């Protein structure tokens, strides 16, 4: 089990927040410091006797409570705990306000903790991003709702009085006579209306600070709407990326066939091949497997070829380690119906296993010998012959998926195993004998037909 690393470097410095480069991190670091125990709090030295004990408490807060726990003796706790405006310096009040309204701090915390707190939802990228967006939307609306009352809060903590007549829609002219829930839900209604564009003109504003606040919310919600559209497009492209790439590939193939003026029958065969091979989703298998370790690639190959391994009886006595190595050297090939796979008389440099499909075997003279189906193999006779010539022609009867094994790997993995070598030699001898017999029978039939034709012409010389 992996454990979270907690660095202990730099604890002898005055700052207990670990240092990182970057202006954005430095800004959030400064904002987080006001939530730690502070020397400026009036009650700090009632509980801690020295400066070193305050630093030790700051360290303990980070390592035990995290960076986002508000200490009861921090600067921000003064605003939370005091019902009346505290006697602080105005710069402190401004920092507290920036920290309290810092959306970036909340988003940063959510981005780092969400995958750990909700691992089930992070297994799928779409689920992860959708849940992330919903929570981000809720946080955004809440932040914008609270931001509407910024002038009132600043005036209250800056000057010590509550302004009258702020935003008549929200407060009916007197903010002190409205309960918290009414103020919150009215402000939330304004933010949602602005976000969905249902009409901002309904809410009248008169003061300059109201114009500034509402303009900021309009700008922010507009930017968030753009983010929403981009997010939806990204989710769509993520979900249907392979389908879109497949249709793009088909469009390229169609344009190529039109330029080369393919006949209709050939076009249909090409489309049939791509439909069968990719099944409507385009992906690069080699690119997906190249970055994996050898062990993981081996497990994937064994899983995808599991049915094939059980159906090929020739390989049942092959050791597991050699079976895994052999699978990595098999090259998949797909043939449509009536495609020529092997031609009699050609030089053979490989053999084939049938994963699924049917092929027809023809002798050198053209006589049909047999049909081979799932789990069978062919092409071994030429690899055993001195001249390496094919003695049969093989044609696909239907869409057939084959695995090709080149001659060097055939000799290394199969012919080196005594039991498998005996099976190959026995079957190859049998097939060679059947081919010769079929050729002889086919030759006799052709000679018989030729003799019959000669006799027919001799008896009826004037017949057509």
Q: What H or E segment, with its residue span, contains residue 425?
A: helix 418-459
Q: How many residues comprise the chain?
A: 464
Statement: residue 84 has pLDDT above 80:
no
* pLDDT above 80: residue 75: no
Sequence-ordered list of residues with C-beta below 8 angstroms from that of 52, at least 6 positions apart, any chain: none
- The DSSP secondary-structure symbol of 162 reads P
Closest to 401 (Cα-Cα) out of 353, 343, 360: 353
Q: What is the mean pLDDT of residues 338-348?
A: 91
Distances (CA, A) of 203 to 9, 209, 214, 221: 54, 14, 10, 16
Tens digits of residue pLDDT in 213-243:
777 878 888 888 888 898 888 888 888 888 8
pLDDT in tens, 368-380: 888 999 989 999 9
CA–CA separation, 45 and 47 (whole Å): 5
CB 399 within 8 A of CB 334: yes
DSSP per-residue codes, 274-331: HHHHHTT----HHHHHHTS-HHHHHHHHHHHTHHHHHH-GGGTTS-HHHHHHHHHH-E
pTM for the full predicted model: 0.55
The confidence score (pLDDT) of residue 10 equals: 46
Q: Return the bridge partners of 350, or none.
A: 406
Q: Under 8 Å CB-to-CB from 21, ≥6 apart: which residues?
A: none
DSSP 28-91: HHHHHHTTSB-TTSTTHHHH--SHHHHHHHHHHIIIII-TTPPPTTBHHHHHHH-SS-----HH
**H or E element in which residue 342 lies:** strand 340-342
Cα-to-chain-centroid distance, residue 342? 40
Residue-level pLDDT at 378: 93
Residue 95 pLDDT class (50, 70, 90 cuts): very low
């Amino acid at each position: 089990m992996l454990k979270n690393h907690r660095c202990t470097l730099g604890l002898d410095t005055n700052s207990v927040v670990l240092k990182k480069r970057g202006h954005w991190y430095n800004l959030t670091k400064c904002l987080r410091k006001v939530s730690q125990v502070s020397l400026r709090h009036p009650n700090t030295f009632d509980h801690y006797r020295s400066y070193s004990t305050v630093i030790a408490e700051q360290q303990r807060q980070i390592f035990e409570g995290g960076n986002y726990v508000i200490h009861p003796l921090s600067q921000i706790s003064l605003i939370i705990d005091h019902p009346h405006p505290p006697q602080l310096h105005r710069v402190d009040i401004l920092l507290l306000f920036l920290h309290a309204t810092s959306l970036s701090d909340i988003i940063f915390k959510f981005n780092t903790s969400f995958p750990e707190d909700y691992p089930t939802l992070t297994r799928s990228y779409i689920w992860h991003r959708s849940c992330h967006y919903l929570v981000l939307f809720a946080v955004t609306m809440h932040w914008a709702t609270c931001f509407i009352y910024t002038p009132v809060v600043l005036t209250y903590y800056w000057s010590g009085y509550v302004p009258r007549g702020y935003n008549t829609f929200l407060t009916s002219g007197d903010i002190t006579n409205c309960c918290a829930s009414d103020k919150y839900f009215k402000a939330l209604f304004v933010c949602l209306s602005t976000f969905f564009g249902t009409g901002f003109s309904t809410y009248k504003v008169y003061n300059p600070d109201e114009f500034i606040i509402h303009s900021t919310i309009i700008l922010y919600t507009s930017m968030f709407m753009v983010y929403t559209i981009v997010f939806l497009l990204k989710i769509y492209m993520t979900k249907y990326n392979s389908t879109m790439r497949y249709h793009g590939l088909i469009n390229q193939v169609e344009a190529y066939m039109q330029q080369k003026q393919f006949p209709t029958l050939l076009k249909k065969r090409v489309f049939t091949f791509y439909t069968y091979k990719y099944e409507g989703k385009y992906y690069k298998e080699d690119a997906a497997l190249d970055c994996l370790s050898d062990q993981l690639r081996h497990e994937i190959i064994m899983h995808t070829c599991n049915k094939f391994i059980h159906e090929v009886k020739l390989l049942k006595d092959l050791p597991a380690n050699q079976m895994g190595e052999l699978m990595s050297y098999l090259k998949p090939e797909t043939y449509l119906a009536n495609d020529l796979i092997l031609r009699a008389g050609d030089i053979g440099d490989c053999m084939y296993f049938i994963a699924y499909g049917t092929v027809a075997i023809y002798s050198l003279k053209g006589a049909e010998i047999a049909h081979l189906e799932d789990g069978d193999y062919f092409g071994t006779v030429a690899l055993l012959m001195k001249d390496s010539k094919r003695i049969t022609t093989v044609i696909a009867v239907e869409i057939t998926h084959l695995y090709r094994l080149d001659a060097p790997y055939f000799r290394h993995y199969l012919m080196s195993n005594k039991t498998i070598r005996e099976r190959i030699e026995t079957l190859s001898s049998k097939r060679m004998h059947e081919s010769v017999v079929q050729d002889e029978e086919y030759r006799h039939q052709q000679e018989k037909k030729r003799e019959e034709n000669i006799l027919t012409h001799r008896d009826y010389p004037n017949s057509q």
